[in-house]
Every structure is written in C-alpha cells, then in structure tokens.
Amino acid sequence: MSQAREDSFRSRLVARDEHALAELVDLVSPWLLGLVQGMLHDQDEAEEVVLEAFRVAWERVQPAPEGERPLVPWLMGIARNRAIDRLRARKRRRRLAERITTVGTAPSTTPPVEPNEAAHPGWHVHTEVHQALAELPADRRQAVQLAYFEGQTHSEIAARLEIPLGTVKTRLRLGLGQLRERLVTIKDWVA
C-alpha cells in the first residue's frame, strides 16, 4: 500500500469514517483470512478472528507518529495475536477435557482441511509467498513457518527447536527481512 494511501486510510479511520473501514476490510480481508485460517484450520473461527481484528483496529487506530508500524502489518499482527489466543484457549480446553474424560477414550483427531487456494482471492500472492519461503535458509524458514503458519510464540519456538530465545528472534527478523526484499514485486499488487 502506498504511503499516501496508508496516510489517507489512517486519517479517515481516526476521523471515524465507516466507509474507510469498509474499504480496508475489502482490501485486507483475504490476507488476514489466509493467515488466520492457516493457523486455526477453521473457516468460521478464522472469520470471527478477522472481524475481531478489525474491531480492535477501529477502536485503537491513532494518527501515525514517525516510525509507526504501517497499517496492514499492524492489522496482520492483531489478527495473528488473536489467533494465537484462540489456539491457547483450545489447548486449555483440550487439557481440561482430557482430565475430565475417563482413561481409554481417545479424542477425535481429524486432519485439517487444506483450502483450495485458486478459489480464493489472492491465490497468486499465496504462491509468491510460498516460493519466497522456500528460498529462505532452512533455519529461518522453519522459524517463520512456526510463527506465522502454526501460530507459535517466540518462547514456544525456542523450546521446540531447543535454541535460545534471542536466536529465534534473530532468525525471524532476518527471515522476514529477506521475505520483504523478495516480495517487493507484489507490494504494489495489494495497494
């Protein structure tokens, strides 16, 4: 999104322009849904999280001071954090259910349904992102996938990979920097 359009959206949202919110929802929803559905593997829950992210953004949007995070990445961060909250709540419910159920009954496990990417808007952006991910060094790719596709926190990644927390943060920062450089060609496509 161009800086001028970003500034326009932000100032209109701060002024409580509901049309700006509707335009932003139309523009960004496919990416937020793709991100959240990839984490939650549940279409209905993903839609709820995306709506919640827009509600939070509507309530918290402020004029951008110098160096403020751009609007779309800010929205993606909100959606990702809400999805992580949902995943944690699922874990808590699952642990509680396991304590309640009698020994010998196994919980039902159904594999997640992969979305038909071609049937969704932005499928070619999805392809570009996954090609860029494949080009990352294995350690950075693994950290990015765990954080953004499995919804794990930095601490969870560190524990899973058995590496220091600072190493996780470094791998994510470097990996996302490489992705940003590699995906500059699709930057204008989302504007």
**CA separation for the pair 5, 15 (Å, rounded):** 15
pLDDT at 94 over 80: yes
Q: Which distant-in-sequence residues (6+ apart) come within 8 Å of 72 by Cβ? A: 1, 6, 28, 31, 190
Pair of tokens at residue 98: 């396991």
**CA separation for the pair 25, 167 (Å, rounded):** 35
The mean per-residue pLDDT over the stretch 158-168 comes to 92
- CATH number corresponding to 115-191: 1.10.10.10
**CA separation for the pair 165, 145 (Å, rounded):** 16
Categorize the per-residue pLDDT at 133 as very low, low, confident or very high, splitting at 50, 70 and 90: confident
- CATH number corresponding to 1-103: 1.10.1740.10
Contact 8, 24 (CB under 8 A): no
pLDDT at 180: 83
Query: What pLDDT, in 10s, does the model give residues 53-73?
Result: 999 989 988 876 655 668 888
Q: Domain segments of the chain: what residues?
A: 1-103, 115-191
